Amino acid sequence: MSEHNHHHHETEPPEETKALLSYMLHHNRHHSEELLEIAGRVGDEAARALLHRAVDSLGESNRLLAEALERLKEGE
């Protein structure tokens, strides 16, 4: 029987968490912009449509990240 030696509910300091989420949100937005530029250069219509769907999915993820970040900031 192996021993379980790590904690499941350790939390980061609030400022670190907010900084990380803010960075990730900015980083994802930048990738969305890059993917749109790539989609504009792709000749294959199906591939272009898939890239636009990927950008839409990133947009939804970014919306959720932004909402989580706002909730954390409100709790200060």
Q: What is the pLDDT of residues 5-62, one digit of tens each?
A: 544 456 777 899 999 999 999 999 999 999 999 999 999 999 999 999 999 999 999 9
Task: Quote the pLDDT of residue 6.
Answer: 46
Model confidence pTM above 0.75? no
Q: Compute the distance between CA of residue 45 and CA of residue 62 in angstroms, rounded to an integer.
A: 25
- Residue 75: closest CA among 10, 23, 19, 18: 18
**What is the span of the domain harbouring residue 55?**
14-74
In a domain, 2, yes or no: no
Tell me how many domains the chain contains: 1
Is the residue at 8 inside a domain? no
51 C-beta neighbours (distance < 10 Å), count: 19
Asked if residue 18 belongs to a domain, the reply is yes
Residue 5 lies in a domain: no
Residue 19 domain-assigned (yes or no): yes
Q: Is residue 32 part of a domain?
A: yes
